[in-house]
Amino acid sequence: MASRGEERGKAGFGGALARAGYAVAGALAAVFVGWAVSLAFPQPRSGMLAHFVGVVAMGAVLMLWASFKPSRLKGGSSALQALLVLGVVVAVWAVGDYLNSPREMEYVQNPLIWVWTYVFYLFNINLGFVLPASWVLGGNERWSRRPLWRVLVELAFALVMGALIASDSLGFLGTSLPTFVVYQLLFVVGALAAAGVIQRLTCELVRRIRVRSLLA
């Protein structure tokens, strides 16, 4: 017979494997939603509004996916899942590009350079910051139950950022490295705020539906 320690070890390993699978599924769902949004916004508009919307959509999907995952983890475990999400997104994009144009690999002698190109691209377009943060924040039960006034502030900030990005009013921030960092920070915070609003409203709707079903 297996000892209690062995049983707990197997249960812990199985739970960790299940949570890793859930993180992978969430990342794939986010990539699919990002692809669907790209169809709605086929070309970047003025101020890169299409890019902003796509990042928000992927972040919101990951927040919701993390909110409803079977078990919630804290600390390093959540961070590892967030890195796993980012790795899956990099892998999916790299495989997709390779299938579309396999000859590109012939010009790259070191495959690590090819991988690094995708990692750099993800961080350059802010997904490298938004996606892991979305997963970590989405799995926080308090985050999905924050007060209405805070959600309204987030919504207002997200709308202002969307308007500024659409009108290209923040284009002047790209003239130097310090101001570009400020622009990137504003973009990330705005995208997370918009994704957080979607998550909060969806979680509240699901909660009310569940309460009504229990009372019926």
Rounded mean pLDDT, 22-40 = 91
Percentage helix, strand, coil for the chain under 3-state DSSP, each rounded to 5: 85, 0, 15
Least confident of 8-12, 35-39, 131-135: 8-12
- 44-81 pLDDT, tens digit per residue, is 666 788 889 999 999 999 999 999 887 666 667 888 89
pLDDT tens for 172-203 read: 877 787 888 888 899 999 999 999 999 999 99
Q: Write down the pLDDT at residue 63.
A: 95
pLDDT per residue over 121-146, tens digit each? 888 888 889 999 999 999 888 888 89
Count of residues for the chain? 216
